[in-house]
Amino acid sequence: MATAAGTVIVDRAPGCLCVLCGLPAAGKSSLALGLLGAAAQRGWRAAAVQYDHLIPDRAFRTLAVEDGGKLEDMHSEWKLHRQAVLQCLEQVLRQPVEVMAEQPSSSRINVDAWKHCIKALLRPEGSSEERAPLLFLLDDNFYYPSMRYEVCQLARKCSLGFCQVYLQCDLESCISRNQNRTTPVPTEVIVDMVKRLEPPNPQKNPWEKQSISLNTTESLSECDVKKVMDLISSALRNPLSPAEENTDQKEADRLKCATSVIHQADQASRRLISEAMKTARETRLSSDHMRTLATQLNETKATFLQNLRTQILEEVPFMEEEDIDVELVVKRAVAIFDDKRKEILSRIINNHK
């Protein structure tokens, strides 16, 4: 392909998307630095895709908090920024020509940070490293499987290798390291993330089979870097194939999941209502107060189940090859109903007194 003198291009080559996930200050950036050096020694072209550099600071401040019992993954604006990172990666992978001269495909990405990110992937025209593997190290918390699955989807779409490294580090160490950073993450954000973080689980999610965990409470070692490089090499040898869409089956699976969750949540909430009515009788509530209690509890249960069904059918990310943990979903949902049940019971008993 003819290009102007001095043009820098990226050709299609074997590639891998490697997700580095874990709490803030768990050591992801330090590991990425070690992997970049190891990749260079093997003649690979590698880049660290650091989300906190590519996404503007204001976007991270839009993270939502628990509101009225409903916990949103994140603000929609932040989701768009995350998706923009993957869109820019796909742009490089699908149209790897004169990348240096191009701006990111999205205005949501920091231009200077993006150019710095891809600079290591570029090779001068005529370079002998035409088939040198491409390695992208995606450095972010990735605390939900749905976040990591988006990367897996891109790997499939582009027939790339895919693997994950979970950096397991205790909360106290992360907080201590974070406080020594130039721009530390608020401690409450780290504490909250511990509650949400769901490490890779190959037994539950087959698409996470190429995953390893590293204990990073202590310093990273050369052995740790070697383990990850071996994982990446395996992923490079076994690229994913584009998955065929099967909308009907996915919707059927979603409905099956919703039915199971609702059935179990209904049974659990019925038991909780029975317990509340028993407690009310033991406090010798009047007949009128008992009827009011039963009515309010049943109305609350009906609304609770309807909202739960809507969330599963319309809002919960549903990923092929991932088995939804029905028991966990039911447990979390019923805990919300139980709080409302206790509130109603307490209010009516106090009114009776």
Q: At what angle do helices 326-352 and 287-310 cross, to 10 degrees?
A: 150
- 68-123 tens-digit pLDDT: 333 334 445 667 878 888 988 888 887 654 444 455 655 677 778 888 887 777 65
Confidence (pTM): 0.65
- Maximum C-alpha span of the chain: 91
Is residue 19 within 8 A of residue 148, CB to CB? The reply is yes
Confidence of residue 145 (pLDDT cuts 50, 70, 90): confident
Burial 135-164 (b: 16+ CB within 10 A, else e): bbbbbbbbbebebbbbbbbbbbebebbbbb
Of 46-50, 163-167, 307-311, which range is least confident? 307-311
Q: What CATH number was assigned to the domain covering residues 12-237?
A: 3.40.50.300
Between the two ends of the chain, the Cα-to-Cα distance in Å is 86
Structure tokens at 157: 């779409």
**Stretch (H or E) spanning 119:** helix 111-119
Residue bearing the bigger pLDDT, 283 or 161: 161
CB atoms within 10 A of CB 189: 15
Structure tokens at 262: 């609702």
Residues 6+ apart with CB under 8 A from 313: 254, 255, 258
- Nearest-angstrom CA–CA distance, 192 and 187: 9
Residue bearing the bigger pLDDT, 154 or 54: 154
Is residue 121 within 8 A of residue 45, CB to CB? The reply is yes
- 43-52 tens-digit pLDDT: 998 999 988 8
Show me where the domains of the chain are located.
12-237, 247-352
